[in-house]
Amino acid sequence: MIATNDALDVLKIRSDFPILSRPVHGKPLVYLDNAATAQKPRAVLEAMESFYEHYNSNVHRAVHELSARATREYEAAREKVARFINASAGREIVFTRGTTESVNLVAQSWGRSRVKSGDEILITHMEHHSNIVPWQMLCEAVGATLKVAPILDSGELDMGVYEGLLTSRTKLVAVTHVSNVLGTVNPVKEIISLAHAAGAVAFVDGAQAAPHRKIDVRDLGADFYAFSGHKLFGPTGIGVLYGKASLLEEMPPWQGGGDMIEKVTFAKTTYNEIPAKFEAGTPHIAGAIGLGAAVDYVTSVGLDRIEAYERNLLSEAMNHLRTVPGLRVIGEAPGKAAVISFLLEGAHPQDLGTLLDRQGVAVRTGHHCAMPLMERYGVTATTRASFAFYNTQKEADAFVQAILKARDILKE
């Protein structure tokens, strides 16, 4: 467990993450690609290893001891997630492969049964492709219209225009909690309230929020909330869809198969209760158990302390970056999360990313699965650094120094 005083013991935290001690190209690893995927603490690795070594078995289907224990641990992980986001009950938590699958589940199940020709779905200009394409596909299939709320140059959602776009035809609002490119923290509680006032359902993409700030889905009023395990310092291939029980109960199954059924005959199949209705087949058992361990770990550190620490780290990094000649930060909304997308004059993002990697600094380059957002700012790609609570001020300094060195190399 992590000490509970206000200051994070970052060196202790770093010792819990084995990969952070490895070198890259003979340099200490400075891992600043956390928005893409975060590293895993030893507690997560050990929880998954323990499952495979000591009680590997399928869940829900057998009476033998291994299966009984696997089922207990799998369902215990569901309850941990429910408490983590303050869901009303574990049955409101559906395990998926990740945020992307969660969006598609809602689009195909809730959307196909609720959205009709002439209806509207409202998203924002800062969405990840995963919160654009499934809604486009739904609109194309049923004859609905996809509308987009614009953003300001600072990266903030234009709330006045957003509210004006809500009409009686709006059936769903889908919005990111935290932008994976800009770091913008959207006022989702207000966004949801306005959506509900217009009679719409609200879906929140929380992939970039859940690892870095406290989430309370009941306080937010979210109808659906989704996030991924691998960004929450847990395994890949596991994610969460929270849905209000009243909505999940009305929705048809998305996939058919084992465990999502109550009774099967050749004439008719009846379906299991939620959440089993949406978890056809053998689930990612080890992934769910690992996610439960990640939730335990992050909870022991404290989301409020994580958010405060990362905010300070971001502030220091931004202050240093502003001294770099020719560097332009994309998105500087007040209160943004610890994500920095930027351009360096005379340097293509891919070239810059390669030069940073040679110095041991891992960043992301490209369009970050947000091509419409890139177009909004008149660019095709950026370099992105994204911080986590195991990053240090020393690493932030090394990141800036690596940019300066890369800039000198590119000038030669």
> Residue 108's CB: how many other CB atoms inside 10 A?
19
Query: Is 369 an annotated catalytic residue?
Result: yes
Cα separation, 153 vs 312, in Å, equals 23
Whether 136 and 107 have beta carbons less than 8 Å apart is answered as no
- Active-site residue (options: 369, 371, 379, 410): 369
Three-state SS letters, the chain: CCCCCCCCCHHHHHHCCHHHHCEECCEECEECECCCCCCCCHHHHHHHHHHHHHCCCCCCCCCCHHHHHHHHHHHHHHHHHHHHCCCCCHHHEEEECCHHHHHHHHHHHHHHHHCCCCCEEEEECCCCHHHCHHHHHHHHHHCCEEEEECECCCCCECHHHHHHHCCCCEEEEEEECECCCCCCECCHHHHHHHHHHCCCEEEEECCCCCCCCCCCHHHHCCCEEEEECHHHCCCCCCEEEEECHHHHHHCCCCCCCCCCEEEECCCCEEECCCCHHHCCCCCCHHHHHHHHHHHHHHHHHCHHHHHHHHHHHHHHHHHHHCCCCCEEEECCCCCCCCEEEEEECCECHHHHHHHHHCCCEECEEECCCCHHHHHHCCCCCEEEEECCCCCCHHHHHHHHHHHHHHHHHHHC
Cα separation, 206 vs 353, in Å, equals 27
The residue to which tokens 């215990």 are assigned: 76
| Residues acting as catalytic residues | 369
